[in-house]
Amino acid sequence: MYGRVESTEQITPSIVRVVLGGEGLDGFEMPAATDAYLNLAIAPSGAPYDAVFDPKAVRAEHAREWWPARRRYTVRAWDGTRRLLTIDFVVHGDEGVAGPWARHARPGDVLVFEGPGSGYTPDPGADWYLFAGDESALPAIAASLGAVPAGRTVVVRLVCDDAEHELALETPGRLDLRWLHRRGAEEPARLLLDAVAALELPAGRADVFVHGEADEIRGLRRHLLAERGMDRSAMSCSPYWRRTMTDEAWRAVKADFVASMDADLDAATGADSTADRP
């Protein structure tokens, strides 16, 4: 499938919102999940095929140097009536493929993708919710906040560069939101863990969503399961990206990383673990 860029908007200094529309979205079906994600296929510049292409056919018919880069991005919103699909891209400097694509995207540009896949929807039976993550998880967290039952406690801890990078978030729940600022922090990579470790957890059954940078997620997962004794079946936990690694490099080691994440948890709890992660 593909979308054509209808508009782009810089919604924070580091996030570009891209709205896609057009005939390429005919047949797009949005799952009920709030973390639905697409596998984007971004062609290298000068690729010897059309802007609208079939990623599988390109991989079969062209040399590897022309294969599109694969990147996963969350569907921030899908308007089925107007057939508009919104994606929020973190633009993290000039590095990478998808971030620079979003920065330079202009109306009419084509974005090819496969999917959507998904894994998480807020459990309507939970007593309270915990969402923790960084800007890459913000689209899924913002979509999920809209889907929690009215009046339920929703604890949100989000890391971003500074106050200018914060976004307004809406939920029918009772929101306990704290933004954590990397700028000026002694150990920015510990902000989320320290903030969650400092929480007095509400009573009752929790539903937990922890997605973002791999090492931060690993620390949070270990803390919540091993030290707080949370129920792993009530936790959606996904290391979306890894500091210092391109997505290609990260995908090559992700399975081993996840296995070691489970192993250090098993060492702490004496259990056998499997995590749920797209």
Ligand X SMILES: Cc1cc2nc3c(=O)[nH]c(=O)nc-3n(C[C@H](O)[C@H](O)[C@H](O)COP(=O)(O)OP(=O)(O)OC[C@H]3O[C@@H](n4cnc5c(N)ncnc54)[C@H](O)[C@@H]3O)c2cc1C
Under 8 Å between Cβ of 112 and 53:
yes
In the complex, what is the shortest distance from the CB of residue 102 to ligand X, in angstroms, rounded to a whole number? Answer: 8
Residue 14's Cβ-count burial label (10 Å; 0-12, 13-18, 19+) is middle
Quick check: 90 binds ligand X (CB under 6 A)? Answer: yes
- The contact pattern for ligand X, residues 42-71, with x = CB under 6 A and - = no contact, is -----------------------------x
Region from 4-12, 133-141, 201-209, 252-260 binding ligand X, contact rule CB under 6 A: 133-141
DSSP category for residue 220 = H
Q: How far is the CB of 25 from ligand X (least distance, A)?
A: 17
- Going residue by residue from 8 to 37, which x/- string records binding to ligand X, judged by CB under 6 A? -----------------------------x
Q: Which stretch binds ligand X (CB under 6 A): 163-171, 173-181, 182-190, 238-246?
A: 238-246
Residue 92 binds ligand X, judged by CB under 6 A = yes
Count of residues in contact with ligand X, rule CB under 6 A: 26
Q: Containing H/E element for 131?
A: strand 128-133
Q: Which two tokens stand for residue 57?
A: 């056919």
Residue nearest to ligand X (CB): 96
User: CA geometry: angle at 149 spanning 31 and 216, to 5°?
Assistant: 70
Calculated CA dihedral for residues 193, 241, 154, 188, nearest 10 degrees: 30
Which CB sits closer to ligand X, 104 or 228?
Answer: 104
Query: How many helices and strands in the chain, by DSSP H and E?
Result: 6, 12
Pairing label, strands 15-21, 2-12: antiparallel
Least Å distance, CB 7 to ligand X, is: 17
Site for ligand X in 180-219 (CB under 6 A): none
From the list 253, 46, 216, the residue with the least C-alpha distance to 136 is 216
Q: Which stretch binds ligand X (CB under 6 A): 3-11, 85-93, 122-130, 267-275?
A: 85-93
The least CB distance from residue 210 to ligand X, in Å, is: 13
Q: Which residue, 77 or 110, has its beta carbon nearer to ligand X?
A: 77
Give the residues across from 86 on adjacent strands. 19, 77
| Residue 271 CB, nearest approach to ligand X (Å) | 25
If you compute the radius of gyration of the chain from its CA atoms, what whole number of angstroms results?
A: 19
* DSSP label of 226: I
End-to-end CA distance of the chain: 20
Binder to ligand X among 246, 254, 262, 275 (CB under 6 A)? 246
Sorted by sequence, the CB contacts under 8 Å of residue 50 that are 6+ apart come out as none
Residue in 65, 95, 186, 256 binding ligand X, rule: CB under 6 A: 95
Residue type present at position 138 = L
Residue 133 binds to ligand X (criterion: CB under 6 A): no
Binding site for ligand X (CB under 6 A): 37, 71-74, 88-90, 92, 95-99, 135-136, 139, 240-247, 278
